[in-house]
Amino acid sequence: MSGNDRLGRRAAPYLLTMPGMLWLVAFFLAPLVLMVTLSTQTGNLLDGFRQTWHFGIYPQVIWQYQHQFLRSFEYGGAATIIALVVSYPLAYWIAFHGGRRKTTLLFLLILPFFVSFVIRTLAWQFILADDGIVLGALKRWHLLPSGYHALATSTAVISGLAYNFLPFMALPLYVSLERIDRSVVEAAGDLYASGRDVFLRVILPLSLPGVFAGGLLTFVPATGDYVNADVLGGTRNNMVGNAIQREYLEFFHYPAGAAMSTILMVLLLVGIFAYARALGTRSIQEYV
């Protein structure tokens, strides 16, 4: 083998990964560094911003927007749990009982999400309206009091988040359940395990990778979302995404918005590592 061939083989992995690495550097690492450096600048939009390494903005925005931070994690966690409870039986039925209709059922599952995110949220606002097709009918049937309303409440925001990010939970769950070897399930039944034991001791542990992936894919965007809180939540249910939007687009206080974005990212990373330690790679490897 010539020297050029050996050099080409050594360089091949780096050349193959170079487009992806350049993409990550240009559209992830560079904006991340810019956001962090912007958070430590001082100034205003008219006079410009200059780098002063002012880290005092971090405790300031934490104190000022502590309720929005807590509310975001509360809403995101609740929406993730609801999406898991709704998606798991759905994904289980499609994976184990869908038969030839699996592709059609999956297509029907994701079909509403071909529509714009904002339009789907506005449709949810129409559904939850006081005189809408759901609450209006329940009130006419005297199943709900006439003064009951769902909009501008935490329930509306969490419902919208759970609905909008439902495929992010359902699809990883389906993939994980579909990959389970059916002979393992049959063997558990042959060993006189009840249906409950088969699910709890075989199917559920083997589907933990899907639970892990779906939980991350749902919780992270749901926590940082601001559209649902803005459309469905009113002024008393703002999340940290709404506060970041105002700092950037209304107050033009870019360092505060960048600092809040950095804090949210760090908190999410800490939560992800804690979640991975509790339910993540080690437990998954033990089961698989």
CATH number at residue 273: 1.10.3720.10
pLDDT > 90: what percent of the chain?
48
When pLDDT is averaged across residues 106-133 and rounded to a whole number, the result is 87
- Domain assignment present for residue 34? The answer is no
Task: Give the pLDDT band (50/70/90) at residue 162.
Answer: very high
**Predicted local distance difference test score (pLDDT) of residue 283:** 45
* In a domain? residue 187: yes
- Give the mean model confidence (pLDDT) for residues 24-49: 89
Predicted pLDDT of residue 273: 84
pLDDT in tens, 253-273: 999 999 999 999 999 988 888
Asked if residue 275 lies in contact with residue 84, where contact means CB atoms within 8 angstroms, the answer is no
> Average per-residue pLDDT in the chain?
87
> Residue 127 CA to chain centroid, in angstroms?
23
Does 182 map to a domain? yes
What is the extent of the structural domain holding 227?
A: 61-287
The answer as to whether 8 is a domain residue is no
Cα 214 from Cα 269, distance rounded (Å): 16
Q: What is the pLDDT of residues 99-118, one digit of tens each?
A: 889 999 999 999 988 888 88
pLDDT value at position 8? 62
Q: Which residue has the higher pLDDT, 279 or 196?
A: 196
7 confidence band (pLDDT: 50, 70, 90) = low
Residue 287's pLDDT is 38
Task: Flag whether pLDDT at 91 surpasses 80.
Answer: yes
Residue 93 has pLDDT above 90, yes or no: yes
d(CA 263, CA 236): 22
Per-residue pLDDT reduced to its tens digit, 196-249: 888 888 899 889 889 989 999 999 999 999 999 999 988 889 999 999 999 999
- Establish if 31 belongs to a structural domain: no
Tokens of 129: 């309206």
What is the tally of structural domains in the chain?
Answer: 1
Give a yes or no: residue 4 inside a domain: no
In a domain, 47, yes or no: no
Task: Specify the range with the lowest mean pLDDT, choosing from 46-55, 84-93, 116-125, 277-286.
Answer: 277-286
Its pTM surpasses 0.75: yes
Inside any domain, residue 40: no
Interval 10-19: pLDDT, tens: 777 777 888 8
